Chains A and B, each alone.
Chain A
Amino acid sequence: MFDILSRLRLSPGDPGIAFVGALEDFRSLPRNSRAILCGQLVFASLTSSHPGRDYIRQFGRSSARRSLFPGKKTVELSVWGDKAAMTAAESNRIKVGFSVDHYLSWGVSRKAAAVLIGGYPDKASTTIQVMVFAGAQLKQIFEKNLPAYDHPRFPSELSYLLDEIRSNFPGYRLHWAAPLEPLPDDYLQSDIINIGMEPFRHLQFRPVIASEGNAPFLRRFGPGLGLLGTVALVSGSMLYAPWHSYRVTWQKYQFETDPQLMPDGRPRNFPAMLYRQANNKLEVLQMQKDFLQHPPQQIQLANDMRQLLNQIASTPKVTILAFWIGGQSDEPSGGGRPAPHIAMRISVPADIRHSALDQGNALLKELSERTGLTLHLAANGVEEKLSESGGRPQARIYKVEG
């Protein structure tokens, strides 16, 4: 009277998810397929009771709706998986969901008290899983084994079970869920309804634990270490180039400014020392260069002197008594004029046909022509030297400036 619903398709393109309650069925699943484990392959309990050596404990489930601020500590629902099935799931890379997880989320998502009856219809027997919810929390969970659907005693045993549940949880509504076949109409009363696939509307897949003890070191710490290593590696490679560049520049700078060492190990009394000491050394050097390029100022002085002396000495009759060059003579010229560059005292024989001033002017003219300089008589620059016998001037002495 019941057909075994063992396979469910959510959409036309979906490869399909099998409800699997037997190990042989599970093992025959293709790789990378998806399956909801139910029936004998899973055992769930709110106590710490151990279902036996064939089962391996999975991650615990919260028996109430998850909350950011849990009011009180809820009892953990222990879930056990068939060891062989878990191993097969891992080796065949099968995505595994547990029917008990789906029932649980269905139950804790509703406030009203409810009893959910799920399970798995196997060929030999039918596993019935009963979960009692109240206040969005799983209160009780237990399993019953009934005969197979087609067994003659199945209807009576089912009726007996339902009555037992009703009497134990009076006032609770009973919900009959997949993968059990929907209850025929004659079972349905006001307090029991078919919900079918409702708990499986959103499929949940969980990681499985296939072996006892800790997972291998790499499994546990590998991802973290890998992340850390990758980030460190990326960071390092990003930092290395600029850092290396900086180091190279720095070393180069240190080396080049090191006053002690030359590439061949010779010590160098090098400008590097000066660079560190005095930055204006260059400026001084430049000034020294300029200074060295100019001839000494007195060369002009000496040359002028020689030239002038030659020119004047070659003038007929003129005798130089004294000569000054260089801006100031020790006999200052009067009249507040600037000190002459050149000054000299010259003596000429007196020409009595002319006055001393006239003779002086003529002499000046001649001298100016010879030297190319603008010469003039100094203030009080005329002096007549009389002969010892007296009377007529013998020589006239002029002080000339220019």
Chain B
Amino acid sequence: MHRVHAPFFLLCLICALMIAWGTHMNLSIIKEKDRLERMELDHFQKWIQSYSALAPVRKQWDAAYPPGTDIKDLLTLYRKFNFESAGLIATADTMQLGRITPLQENNRYLGLTEACVITGNEGNKGFVVSAPDYGKLIQGIQALSQRREIRFTGITIDRAKNRPHAVLRDMCLLVRDDEDASQPGVKP
């Protein structure tokens, strides 16, 4: 104790008390921050896991639906339908654009837009496809129905016409809206 510089010691004591107090305060703050950060990281890691598990879906999705940006005009839309591969005959000459609406499934937007077509001279009943004979027509419609990116809600076959043909009602192509699928919107 002898000849200790008392004011300096007092100063040190005050500083020490402040440090101790600060430590006490910071300790709880840091612990809380650490806990929150861990929770956040945990949440993210779980998210990543789920996302990784669902990652193949994205590939399937991209493979199943053509991107909307590919559709630039009526002709590219017509080509996407690819009626020839189904053995069907259709014509782009009388094809008209019907409605273009975001697809809602159970009132939820999935990132798909329906681009629908009608044959103009059919009075908006639907889109006309034809084939050399009825067997091919039916086969063709079946082949068409297997394709995910194509949707129609009804088939009409009328023999009154001289050529085997069918009217597909609500004939639409599903195109995917790229990027941020959480925001509904139609790409031009």
Contacts and interface: CB of A to CB of B under 8 A. Distances in A.
Interface in A192-232: 207-209, 214-215, 219-225, 227-228, 230-232
Secondary structure at the A interface, as helix, strand, loop or mixed, is helix
Contact of A327 (B2, B125, B145, B153): B153
A242 B29 CA distance: 10
A215 B3 contact: yes
Contacts, number: 201
B23 A324 contact: no
Nearest to B181: A284
A229 to B, nearest CB: 9
B181 to A, nearest CB: 5
B69 interface: no
Secondary structure at the B interface, as helix, strand, loop or mixed, is helix
A147 B139 CA distance: 146
A47 to B, nearest CB: 24
B64 interface: yes
Interface stretch (B46-54, B75-83, B93-101): B46-54
B-side interface size class:
35 or more
A35 to B, nearest CB: 16
Given A228-B16, A246-B30, A303-B145, 10 more contacts: A207-B1, A231-B16, A231-B20, A253-B44, A282-B47, A296-B148, A297-B153, A298-B150, A309-B138, A323-B156
Interface of B: 1-5, 8-9, 11-13, 15-16, 19-20, 22-23, 26-27, 30-31, 33-34, 37-38, 40-41, 44-45, 47-48, 50-52, 54-55, 57-58, 60-61, 64, 105, 108, 110-111, 125, 138, 141-142, 144-148, 150-160, 169, 180-182
24 contacts: A220-B3, A220-B4, A223-B4, A224-B5, A227-B9, A231-B16, A235-B19, A239-B23, A239-B27, A246-B34, A257-B44, A271-B47, A271-B51, A275-B44, A275-B48, A284-B182, A287-B105, A296-B148, A301-B152, A303-B142, A305-B157, A320-B159, A326-B152, A326-B153
